[in-house]
Homo-oligomer: A and B are copies of this chain.
């Protein structure tokens, strides 16, 4: 395969997740990932700083889309409605490729403490991006943090359903449903 392939990043990601599934995260080397993808180690390192950062793929894009969606919500939207707009925007970035690899990614995370940490940090980053976008809308600090946490929980839940379900559910719609369930639950806390 040509080394300048435009889909090198996706091929590296798929190769990494396949290898993590086959032999475990710890036992997989960058050289093996590159070989499986038909690319060089140098190409791997042009796309990812290290093996673990394969997991963080898409974090910047998701953060940006969440922020943009929240910023573009109508002026009168409640904090949660703005978060809903962010989730809907972010969902558009998730492709059939993401969905296909989702179960491998999920299983890799479940099997590795190191990946669980990277995943936890990714979630912290996404929540921080949402809270920041909400504050820019004038939402008070505590409310912004809380709404962002709900957004993170909703996206996590919707994503888990999306990659597990056999039929063709829409990720944005799943996220909206999850957020609505959390809104109801928030009313039952006290």
List chain A positions with a Cβ less than 8 A from chain B: 78-81, 113, 116-118, 120-121, 123-124, 140, 142-143, 145-147, 149-150, 153, 181-190
- Count the copies: 2
Q: A118-B117, A146-B150, A153-B146 are in contact. Are A78 and B190 (CB under 8 A)?
A: yes
Residues in chain B near residue A79, CB distance under 8 A:
188-190
Q: A120-B117, A124-B120 are in contact. Are A189 and B149 (CB under 8 A)?
A: no
22 contacts between A and B (CB under 8 A): A79-B189, A79-B190, A80-B189, A80-B190, A113-B121, A116-B121, A116-B124, A117-B117, A117-B121, A120-B120, A120-B121, A120-B123, A120-B124, A140-B185, A142-B181, A142-B184, A146-B150, A146-B185, A146-B186, A183-B189, A183-B190, A186-B186
B80 touches A142 (CB 8 A): no
A189 touches B120 (CB 8 A): no
A142 touches B185 (CB 8 A): yes
